[in-house]
Amino acid sequence: MTMNDLPIAVIGAGPVGLAAAAHLFERNLVPVVFEAGRQAGSAISQWSHVHLFSPWKFNIDAASRALLEAEHWQHPDPEVQPTGGQLVEDYIAPLAAHPKLAPHIRYETTVVAISRLNRSRLDNADREKSPFVVIWNDRDGNRHRTLARAVIDASGTWHRPNPMGRDGLAVEGEHEYKDPIAYGIPDVLGKDRDVYAGKHTLVVGAGHSAINAVLDLLDLKIENPQTRISWATRSGGTDRLIGGGLNDALPGRGLLGHRAANAVRDGGVSLLSPFTINKVERTPHAFNVAGELGADAVNLAVDRLIVATGFRPDFSFLSELRLTLDPVVEATPALAPLIDPNFHSCGTVRPHGAVELAHPEPGFYIVGMKSYGRAPTFLLATGYEQVRSVVAMLAGDEEAALRVELELPETGICRTATAATISLNAKKEMTMNAPVKDEPQAAGCCGGPAPAGVEACCVKDADAKAAGESGCGCGSKPSAQVEPKAKPVACCD
């Protein structure tokens, strides 16, 4: 058997892994897909209650759609934002059941190691001519070996949530007291309702997952007023909450931040920021979270914690492969500068593919959410373009691999000013400070016309009003002089 006779291994049967398999079939290449769960999209099924930011038109891969439509599949409304459950039920499950793909997917299989056949990481001789060997365990724990001509790792990061420690480590008590701690976005309004109703919950994190959890808890509080919500972010203020705002091309993403900022302003949520958690300990009636709010020591009594501080990739089963990873983000060095949150406040990342995702190990690629390492803001459309390019490269079509075939939705303005900040007074009571005025932007830049149905003169005016201010001031004389706190930021920088 020659290298060309071997299948291409795909790790993960989520939307990006299945898209890789569909593109491989489109190129007359044979995949073998390893999925750890009992069904395709098993990780997404764990947040089935959560709506995606992007509507259906951004969530369906072209090659996958071609396979499905050949089986008379009905495309969902392209403008509707599906939940994770709808994504699985209406798209991932039918795709995985397609007669062309289904025989090539192995469920309840855990990949434990990948190497080159008879070549360790140290061996150079004929390395590229040696096939990959994928070591995997089946549902009964039996170990198997599969040879592959190439490997596409689309295993994601869902099963490796970041701990709550600001240093990237678990805080004292985090492992010992697991019962009150949930990671990601629990189903607060569904199966987990009784766990959070009437309780005091601390949400940790400043990204969209944390915002989703906070907003679900607010909806629960309407039904059960005894429900209390505290929200700890590790960076100061609410700068990240509004994000691209109403100028975001994905309305669901833009409105999330506005709702969260309004909830903080209206007092429905107690915001602690910047807050560093040092310890979680059991008390007779609840749990005590010990930490620092700015320079002040704080002890907060809570019943539950939701940790939504992001995820990190698992490279443990790739230790015999030659990888090159950015020391900060843990993406490839070519991709990392495009997504590093230390330098990018926007979620928009230009389309990229095989070139940016290449490792020193020929024929090996990491795609999907895992390709972003620890960086956030990944969109499914990005993953679909990644696998299109990678499969084209594996098929020897370098021209197609280098060609950009994706236009990503813009995230709107890159940075907004603090809508509100919270401090703790001497009695450790949370009080709301006055709203801080928006930073001035480049002259004449108002972000374009206001969205339909919003009473505002422009996007910037809508953003300001949603943050509790009187407006952007571009249509009238401002009520007070605003002193810029930092260098002005261009609205489309």
Do the domain assignments include residue 358?
A: yes
Question: Within this chain, do residues 227 and 82 fall inside the same structural domain, yes or no?
Answer: no
Taking 50 as the threshold, does the pLDDT of residue 461 lie above it?
Answer: yes
Question: Within this chain, do residues 298 and 238 fall inside the same structural domain, yes or no?
Answer: yes
Do the domain assignments include residue 167?
A: no
Question: Within this chain, do residues 233 and 380 fall inside the same structural domain, yes or no?
Answer: no
Question: Within this chain, do residues 35 and 142 fall inside the same structural domain, yes or no?
Answer: yes
Taking 90 as the threshold, does the pLDDT of residue 483 lie above it?
Answer: no
Question: Within this chain, do residues 155 and 56 fall inside the same structural domain, yes or no?
Answer: yes
pLDDT score of 431: 28
Do the domain assignments include residue 65?
A: yes
Question: Within this chain, do residues 356 and 391 fall inside the same structural domain, yes or no?
Answer: yes
Residue 144 bridge partners (DSSP): 136
Give me the mean pLDDT over the 468-482 stretch: 47
pLDDT score of 313: 97
Q: What burial letters (b/e) apply to 60-89, b meaning 16+ CB within 10 Å?
A: bbebbbebbeeeebeebeeeebbbbebbbe
Q: pLDDT tens digits for 147-173?
A: 999 999 999 999 999 999 999 999 999
Question: Within this chain, do residues 16 and 116 fall inside the same structural domain, yes or no?
Answer: yes
Question: Within this chain, do residues 344 and 230 fall inside the same structural domain, yes or no?
Answer: no
Q: What's the rounded Cα separation, in Å, for the pair 26 and 66? A: 9
Inter-residue contact 422 to 430 (CB < 8 Å): yes
| Class of residue 485 by CB neighbours under 10 A (exposed 0-12, middle 13-18, buried 19+) | exposed
Do the domain assignments include residue 247?
A: yes
Question: Within this chain, do residues 203 and 68 fall inside the same structural domain, yes or no?
Answer: no
Domain count, the chain: 2
pLDDT score of 104: 98
Query: Considering 379, 402, 425, which residue would you say is the last residue of a domain?
Result: 402
Which of 27, 22, 21, 26 is closest to 8 using CA atoms? 21
pLDDT score of 250: 55
Do the domain assignments include residue 70?
A: yes
Backbone φ and ψ for 23, nearest 5 degrees, come out as -70, -35
Give me the mean pLDDT over the 186-210 stretch: 94
Q: What's the rounded Cα separation, in Å, for the pair 305 and 289? A: 9
Give me the mean pLDDT over the 291-295 stretch: 93
Question: Within this chain, do residues 246 and 347 fall inside the same structural domain, yes or no?
Answer: no
Question: Within this chain, do residues 27 and 132 fall inside the same structural domain, yes or no?
Answer: yes
Question: Within this chain, do residues 143 and 229 fall inside the same structural domain, yes or no?
Answer: no
Domain that holds residue 44: 3-159+311-402
Mean confidence (pLDDT) of the chain: 83
Do the domain assignments include residue 315?
A: yes
To which residue do tokens 């890789």 refer?
20
Query: Considering 402, 424, 452, which residue would you say is the last residue of a domain?
Result: 402
Do the domain assignments include residue 164?
A: no
Do the domain assignments include residue 448?
A: no
Could you tell me the CATH number of the domain that includes residue 55? 3.50.50.60
Q: pLDDT tens digits for 330-343?
A: 999 999 998 888 87
